[in-house]
Structure 1
Amino acid sequence: VKDINDNPPVFPATQKNLFISETRALDSHFSLEGASDADIGANALLTYKLSPNEYFSLEVPTNDQVKPLQLV
C-alpha cells in the first residue's frame, strides 16, 4: 500500500496579520507557524514561498535545523 497525496497542507490560521513598527531594525525576524500535512513520506513534504517583493524574505529551516519558519 502506498500513500497518495490526498491531504492538502493545513495552516493554523487562514490569515496572519503582523504589525511591524517602522522603527524596527532591518533584518528583524518574525516567527511564523508552519503548516501540517496528514500525508506521509514525500507527500508530507512542505515547501514555503513568498511572492517576490523588496521588503520581506522567508527563512526556512533545513532538515537538520530545529527552528521555526521566519519572516525576515
Structure 2
Amino acid sequence: MKTIDEKIGQELKKARDNCSMSLQDVSNIIGKSRYTLHGYEKGRNSISASTLFELCELYNIDIEVLFKKIKND
C-alpha cells in the first residue's frame, strides 16, 4: 500500500509530465534542487504545504482535486 507521500508524488510527477517540464525546469522556477523534487515525486521526501501549493500553481492543478484523487486511490 502506498503512503500519502508516494501518492502525492505520483500525482505531481503526472502533472509535471503533462506540462512537459523537466525536473531541472521546475528546479529553476521554484528554487528546489532536482534531487529534492525527485524525492517528492518518489515519496521519499515529505513536501511542505507551501511547496505543494507552489507546485500546484505551477502545474495548474487544483489542490482540492489532488487530495480527492489520493483519497480515492
TM-score, with normalisation over the residues of structure 2?
0.23
From the two aligned structures, give the one with the greater helix fraction.
2
TM-score, with normalisation over the residues of structure 1?
0.23
Structure showing greater radius of gyration is 1
Q: Which gives a bigger RCO, structure 1 or 2 (Cα 8 Å, sep 6+)? A: 2
